[in-house]
C-alpha cells in the first residue's frame, strides 16, 4: 500500500526538544499534526511511528519520544501528496519551520492548532482513519 498519512499528536506539557539538525525547539502543550508519505509500505511506516522502541531517524521520531499519537489518518495513492496536504494545513495552522520537510520545498510538515481546528481540516481531506494497534 502506498500513500500519505497524518499523525495527530498530543503533548501534555510545554517541552524543549533537540530535533537533530534543527537543534533545540520549544513545543507548547497541545495538539500537533504531522504529515508524511510512504511510497514503499504505508502500513509499515505508520506502524513504525506507533512503536515506542525504535531508532531515531526522522524529525518526527524526536517529537514522538515526548508526545503521544492520538490518531492516524491516511489515503492510498501511488503519488506523493504529503506536500499538497501540508500546504492545506499551512494556510490555517501554526507550523514549525523546517520540520519534516528536508526533502521538499514546504515550510513544514508539522503543524500546531486546537483539536477542533485540526479535526475540521482532516475531515475536509476525506482521509481514512487508521486502526491503531497497541504500542509496543
Q: Is the backbone of residue 67 left (phi > 0), alpha (psi -120 to 50) or beta?
A: beta
pLDDT, residue 136, reads 41
For residues 74-81, give the mean pLDDT.
90
Segment 91-106, tens digit of pLDDT: 999 999 999 998 899 9
Query: How confident is the model over 14-41, as pLDDT tens digits?
Result: 999 999 999 999 999 999 999 999 988 9
Q: Which of 100, 16, 98, 27 is nearest to 57 (CA)?
A: 100
The single residue listed with the C-alpha cell 479535526 is 119
Judged by DSSP in three states, 1 sits in coil
In whole numbers, what is the pLDDT of the chain averaged over residues?
93
Q: 115-125 and 82-92 helices cross at what angle (nearest 10)?
A: 140
Percent of the chain with pLDDT over 70: 97
Query: Using CB atoms within 10 A of its CB, is residue 119 exposed (0-12), middle (13-18) or buried (19+)?
Result: middle
Instruction: Name the band, by pLDDT with cuts 50, 70 and 90, for residue 79.
Output: confident
Task: Give the pLDDT confidence score for residue 103 in this predicted structure.
Answer: 86
Distance CA 30, CA 9 (A): 8
The whole-model pTM stands at 0.93
Rounded distance, CA 118 to CA 59, Å?
A: 20
Amino acid at each position: 500500500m502506498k500513500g500519505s498519512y497524518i499523525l495527530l499528536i498530543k503533548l501534555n506539557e510545554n517541552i524543549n526538544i533537540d530535533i537533530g539538525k534543527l537543534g533545540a525547539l520549544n513545543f507548547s502543550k497541545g495538539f500537533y499534526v504531522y504529515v508524511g508519505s510512504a511510497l514503499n509500505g504505508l502500513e509499515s511506516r505508520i506502524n513504525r511511528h506507533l512503536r515506542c522502541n525504535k531508532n531515531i531517524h526522522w524529525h518526527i521520531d524526536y517529537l514522538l519520544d515526548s508526545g503521544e499519537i492520538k490518531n492516524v489518518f491516511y489515503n492510498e495513492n501511488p503519488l506523493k501528496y504529503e506536500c499538497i496536504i501540508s500546504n492545506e494545513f499551512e494556510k490555517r495552522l501554526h507550523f514549525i519551520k523546517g520540520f519534516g520537510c528536508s526533502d521538499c520545498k514546504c515550510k513544514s510538515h508539522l503543524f500546531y492548532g486546537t483539536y477542533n481546528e485540526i479535526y475540521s481540516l482532516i475531515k475536509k481531506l476525506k482521509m481514512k482513519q487508521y486502526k491503531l494497534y497497541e504500542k509496543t
